Structures are given as structure tokens and as C-alpha cells.
Amino acid sequence: MTALNELTLAEARDGLKAKRFSAREIAQAHVEAIERAGALNAYLAATPDRALKMAAVSDEKIAKGEARPLEGLPLGIKDLFCTQGVATTAGSKILEGFEPHYESNVSTQLWRDGAVMLGKLNLDEFAMGSSNETSAYGNTISPWRRRGSEAALVPGGSSGGSAAAVAAHLCLGATATDTGGSIRQPAALTGTVGIKPTYGRCSRWGIIAYASSLDQAGPIARTVQDCAILLGSMAGHDPRDTTSVDRPVPDFEAAVSRGVKGLTIGIPREYRVEGMPAEIQRLWDQGAEWLKAAGATIREISLPHTPYALPAYYIVAPAEASSNLARYDGVRYGLRVPGKDIAAMYENTRAAGFGREVKRRIMIGTYVLSAGYYDAYYVRAQKIRTLIKRDFEEAYASGIDAILTPATPSSAFGIGEKASADPVEMYLNDVFTVTVNMAGLPGISVPAGLDAQGLPLGLQLIGRPFDEETLFAAAQTIENAAGRTTLPQAWWA
């Protein structure tokens, strides 16, 4: 029999309902797997007592025939979501010792539906990064390794802890957030599925802000169906977040088996970037073939402003971050480093509390928002953002239902390999994902195969606003054709 922590979320749900095992047993299997996997550094804090308590409640509910949609399913929570009474760090020293007295809306809805909390997952500091290397609490190590090598690889970022924990069977699914690719990129690098829903689909209330006009929560899980199940619970209107949209949450799980017959899938020629590895191009062609074989029509399209997306993103995101991070001043949360007066206390706290990448973004953001540079940088970036959005609108107006692209320009890289003197090298990881945040659209990353080194590669599907259902249907078609990725040998346990 498959170990309980190796089931898919849907299998676990059905097994619990059929009383083949108990919520306590499945929680215990995860608690033990987490204990053995310290080497991965995926969890910043495990909450085994809470998990077993929640599981006991689930077992009672199941016994009474009152099971809720996620009853007894153990999940990990990215440490950017505030969790009541459980330390929340955002991967930063500046929030050391911060214990929220409120719970994020998304996690509240997961617990409302009966899910069980296993703990808090590692991430890049304030979700800024593509490799987990900016976490103040050490890198999460990917459970994957190159064939014949023991070199430690990154799990991607910023939701690297979430992706690694899902891939290594340390939870059935995890919450994540995506500002420029932080759900889709780590999912692609770890052979897991991740969806960033449409901006406004999930409430941002209680999620520590990075760049508020781009941030969106979503799930990472091992299958497309599991992501659909989780998003169904995470999504929904919340009056406490004015950007959360008041529209019904569709039955995402039902959409998974819809197929792609009659759909038109766009292949944007601008995503064929210079120097793209042949393997990625082959995978992309293969993805289009799979969709075609399942009844979709494939059409080449143009999204002409794509090349400007990355530079514009790296103006808009730091600008918003510099404003959002102004609140960490040593007065209200976490760390405080005293000084001779209050200004010195602010300076000392921020100097000691923030890491290098966060400081770089605050400086860039402050610069592009300052008088004299505002029009030259920030306003222009916002104009580019409008043009990027228009490109997508025109493609959809011409009859395109979804767009297929690679998820990342490469497979996982080694720790330290890209954290070199040039931060732009790291920023290039997001070349295929940032456009989607700039336009507020939904995007899903689905595993599509392994590269020559035996590492997972993902394909991305981009949808119309609030049409996550088509993404689930198309991603399931790719999952069916590609087969589930063979998960790594548990070298860490």
C-alpha cells in the first residue's frame, strides 16, 4: 500500500471518507515525514500538536457523517500567510518573534473546510526571489537531484518551501503566493502543479504584502485535480480585501475532466526567447502536440510587448514593495534594535532586520518613486503594463481560449550558481511568468517531462480573466499525456 503521505489529496480525501484510514493516521504519517526531512529545510516551523488536534476533530466529524470538503487533509502554509498564534516570519529576520493574533482569509477558509495544519513553509524573504536563497532562515533544498550528482539544487522561489514540501511528500498540498511567478516557477522546478488564479480571486487579507497590485494566493499540489480542489476552498469574496472580487467560485474540480476539444490554444511567438535551450523548445512543441491530439486547435499569436514585461515588473514590484515594507520600523512588529533616538532605532532595526535583496528592492523602489524619476520610470512602467494587458485582451478577442508557453527558461539550478554579482541573472527566471501578473490573468504550471539531467520541466497555460476552469481542463490534458513525474528518491530521509 502507498504510504499515507504519498497519496494524492483526492485519494486521501476519498480514503478518509471510506474510513480506510483515519485523519490521525494521515496526520501522523506527515508529522514523521517532516521530522525525517530536516535536511530539506522546507518547514520553518512544524506544528505537530496542532495537526494532531485538528485531525482528532476531523475523525469525529467523519464518524458523525459530517465531513467537510477538505476534512482531515494535512497542508503546509507558506510563511507569508499570517497564522493566529503561530510565528509568521515572511522569511525575514525583521519579523522574528511576530505572532499574529489573526488568521489570513485563505487559511481561515482551508480550516473552515476541515484541512489540517502541518506548519509554516520556507520562502524567499518577503517573497522576493526565484530560488529560496534570500530566506533569512537558510535555503530550502530541492528534493530533486541531477542524475549521478549530489549537488544541492534550488527548489525555485519564492514559494520554494511549499513546492519542495509537496514534492517530498511532506504535505498533501500547500498554500503559496505569486507576484511575478512564485507559484508557477517553483512548481515547474519541482515537478508539481501550481496555479496563480486571476487577481482578485483569492483574498489577500492577512497575507504579508510584497507588491499589492500583483500579489495573488494559490495552491501547489501534486496533481491538477488536487490544485482544483484546494483553489475551490481558497477562493472567494472577502469584504476585508477591496480587490477581492465578488463572483461565485465555480466547481473547479468538475472542470478538470472537461477536455480541450474545440478550444483554440495560442502559441505566442515572442516567448521564443534568445538562447532558450533546445529541450525547452522541444517540450513546448510537445505540449502543443498533446493539446492538438486531444482536439484543440493550435494557433500562433503575437503578444508584442512581452520583451518589456520583465524590466517594467522590476520597477512596479519594487516600487510597491518599498511602500509596503515601510511599516517594519521596530515599533509594531518583530525585531527592535535600539538607538540613541527614534530615528536611529528605525535605522538600526531596518539595517539589521532586512537582507540584501530586500534592501536592494527598497532602494530601487524608493528611487523610481522619487520626484524627478517618477515619470521616467514608474509612470512608463505603468503604461507598459497597460500595453501588456492589451496584448492579451486582443489575443482573447481574436478567439484564443488559453495560451501555452514554457513555465521557466531552465530546469532547477544549483544553490549559489545564480546568486552571483549580477541580480538580473536571477530576475531572468521570471521571463515567462511576470506578464501574467502584470495583466492580472490566471496562469497554471504543469509538469511536462524531465530534461537530460533528469530534472522536471513545466509548461504554463495562461487563461482569460476568471477562466481558471479552462486552465484546469487543459493542464489535465497535459498531465494525462505527460504522465505524472516520477518523484525523487528520498535521499534525505
Q: What is the set of active-site residues?
A: 78, 158, 182
- Cα separations in angstroms, 212 against 219, 235, 320, 432: 18, 17, 7, 20
In this structure, the chain runs to a length of: 493
Kindly report the backbone phi and psi dihedral angles of residue 207, in degrees, each rounded to the nearest multiple of 5, phi listed first.
Answer: -100, 130
- Look up residue 183 and give its three cell numbers: 507559484
Among 79, 430, 467, 479, binds ligand GLN (CB under 6 A): 430
Choose the stretch contacting ligand GLN; rule: CB under 6 A; options: 174-182, 222-230, 331-339, 363-371: 174-182
Helix (H) or strand (E) holding 56: helix 48-63
Residue 268 in the binding site for ligand GLN (CB under 6 A):
no
Cβ proximity to ligand GLN: between 79 and 479 the closer is 79
The one among 15, 72, 91, 129 contacting ligand GLN by CB under 6 A: 129
**Beta strands in 160-316, from DSSP E residues, in sequence order:** 173-178, 193-196, 216-221, 264-268, 297-301
- CA 173 to chain centroid: 11
What is the Cα–Cα distance from 23 to 327, expressed in whole angstroms?
40
Pairing status of strand 74-78 against strand 116-121: parallel
178 is a contact residue toward ligand GLN (CB under 6 A): yes
User: 10 Å Cβ neighbour count for 5?
Assistant: 21
Report how far apart, in Å, the C-alpha atoms of 356 and of each of 130, 182, 344, 359 are: 15, 19, 20, 5
Least separation in angstroms between CB 436 and ligand GLN: 10
Measured from the CB atom, is 129 or 443 closer to ligand GLN?
A: 129
Region binding ligand GLN by CB under 6 A among candidate stretches 45-53, 173-181, 408-416, 443-451: 173-181
Cis before 158? omega within 30: yes
Residues 295-354 that bind ligand GLN (CB under 6 A): 317
- Is position 127 an interface residue for ligand GLN (rule: CB under 6 A)? yes
CB of 129 to ligand GLN, least distance (A): 5
Give min distance, CB of 57 to ligand GLN, in A.
33
Burial class (CB in 10 A: 0-12, 13-18, 19+), 329: middle
Nearer to ligand GLN, 33 or 415 (CB): 415
For ligand GLN, the closer of residues 216 and 244 by Cβ is 216
Q: Are strands 297-301 and 264-268 parallel, antiparallel or unpaired?
A: parallel
Instruction: Identify residues 12-41 at the interface with ligand GLN (CB under 6 A).
Output: none
Q: Check residue 181 for interaction with ligand GLN (CB under 6 A).
A: yes
Q: Which residues lie below 8 Å from residue 424, measured CB to CB, with a gap of 6+?
A: none
Strands 193-196 and 443-450, sheet pairing = antiparallel
For residue 179, state whether it binds ligand GLN (rule: CB under 6 A). Answer: yes
Which residues, 209 to 248, sit near ligand GLN by CB under 6 A? Answer: 210
Is 72 or 157 the residue whose CB approaches ligand GLN more closely?
157
Radius of gyration of the chain (CA): 21
Least Cβ distance, residue 332 to ligand GLN (angstroms)? 23
C-beta closer to ligand GLN: residue 211 or 296: 211
Please identify, among the stretches 50-58, 64-72, 127-135, 251-259, the one whose residues bind ligand GLN according to the rule CB under 6 A: 127-135
> From the list 22, 47, 139, 182, which residue makes contact with ligand GLN (rule: CB under 6 A)?
182
Among 128, 164, 187, 267, binds ligand GLN (CB under 6 A): 128
Beta carbon nearer to ligand GLN, 88 or 130? 130
Distances (CA, A) of 475 to 73, 327, 371, 485: 23, 40, 45, 14
Contact region for ligand GLN (CB under 6 A) — 45-53, 177-185, 298-306, 327-335? 177-185
The stretch near ligand GLN (CB under 6 A) out of 89-97, 179-187, 269-277, 379-387 is 179-187
The footprint of ligand GLN (CB under 6 A) covers: 127-130, 158, 178-182, 210, 317, 430
